[in-house]
Structure 1
Amino acid sequence: MFPELSGDESQLIQSADNPIPWTYKFDWQTRQIEQGPDGRYVKTATYAEYLAEIAKKILNTRRFRYSIYSDRVGVDFLYDTGRLQSGISLAVIRTQAQEALEAHSEIERAEVTDIKFEGNRVIFSIEIEGVRGSTRMEVNAWQR
């Protein structure tokens, strides 16, 4: 039922042949890419930070909204922005979020452990297992 893992930890060590992926950090308050003191854009430094940033980008992007992203980036529940909380099932949002996260090539398994409405936001508590490691995080999404 569960796959057996073979190999050792040497596969996880960063090498020139297999570098840790990175993405730019995004400031979710200002909706701008973060800049360092020297004016350069800030990149993620660790794999856990990379997974967290990717999850935030996926859960805050409406699918098919931006042509630079493939159809595997984004969620469909953002089309329901403005509907009443009673008209939107948290179970459906949870399923869509997990499917959207698992569509990313670096994410092997994503589980939404908790989901709730808080004011005009949906708060996700997520556990993600990536190709090279795992992380837990909380993601605020969907400002209505």
Structure 2
Amino acid sequence: MFPELTGDESQLVQSPDNPIPWTYKFDWSTKQLQQGPDGRYLRTTTYAEYLEETAKKILNTRRFRYEVYSERYGVDFLYEVGRMPSGMSLAVIKTQAEEALEAHSEIERAEVVDIRFDGNRIVFGLEIEGTRGTTRTEVDAWQR
């Protein structure tokens, strides 16, 4: 009546190749998770896309703001929102951004290759080396 299973337990163990990590995609203009045509929330599909979305989330999250994140998640320079750009040192912001990104378990090295003020925001040019690959991206943060 029931199907007979053949083989041993070794077939049930996950393969040594780890699956690609994923995160939900975020629409930064509406500040909402992106939804597909069927209403389900969209996930990242590639490792580079995962690294980019993770970097955007980290650099747009103020540390200690949300209890769901650990004390290592987010950045401190967002506490300075509203100050004039001349009052903020780009070197300090760059260091804080690199440290915040490297605190993530998937990111081995993060380098801010370009940082600039652009109107009411700060733009980071990033080179990120994850445990499974690298990517280059640009992240807008600090909507004042």
**Does TM, normalized by the shorter one, top 0.5?**
yes
Whole-Å separation in 2 of the counterparts to 1:17 and 1:116: 39
> What is the Cα deviation at residue 102 of structure 1?
0.2
Match of 1:91 in 2: 91
Matches within 5 A, 1:59-138: 59-138=59-138
Matches within 5 A, 1:39-58: 39-58=39-58
| Corresponding letter in the other structure for 1:28 | W
> What is the Cα deviation at residue 72 of structure 1?
1.2
Whole-Å separation in 1 of the counterparts to 2:121 and 2:84: 12
SS of 1:123's partner is strand
Match of 1:8 in 2: none
Distance 1:22 1:16, change over 3 A: farther
SS of 1:94's partner is helix
Whole-Å separation in 2 of the counterparts to 1:16 and 1:28: 35
Match of 2:20 in 1: 20
> What is the Cα deviation at residue 74 of structure 1?
0.3
Whole-Å separation in 2 of the counterparts to 1:89 and 1:17: 43
Whole-Å separation in 1 of the counterparts to 2:17 and 2:39: 30
Aligned CA-pair RMSD:
0.9
Report Cα offsets for 1:32-85 as digits up to 9, x if no partner.
000000000000000000000000000000000000011111000000000111
> What is the Cα deviation at residue 30 of structure 1?
0.2
Identity %: 75
Pick the structure with greater CA Rg: 2
Which blocks of at least 5 consecutive residues in structure 1 are unaligned?
1-14
TM-score normalised by the chain length of structure 1: 0.88
> What is the Cα deviation at residue 18 of structure 1?
1.1
Name the count of aligned residue pairs.
Answer: 130
TM-score normalised by the chain length of structure 2: 0.88
| Corresponding letter in the other structure for 1:115 | I
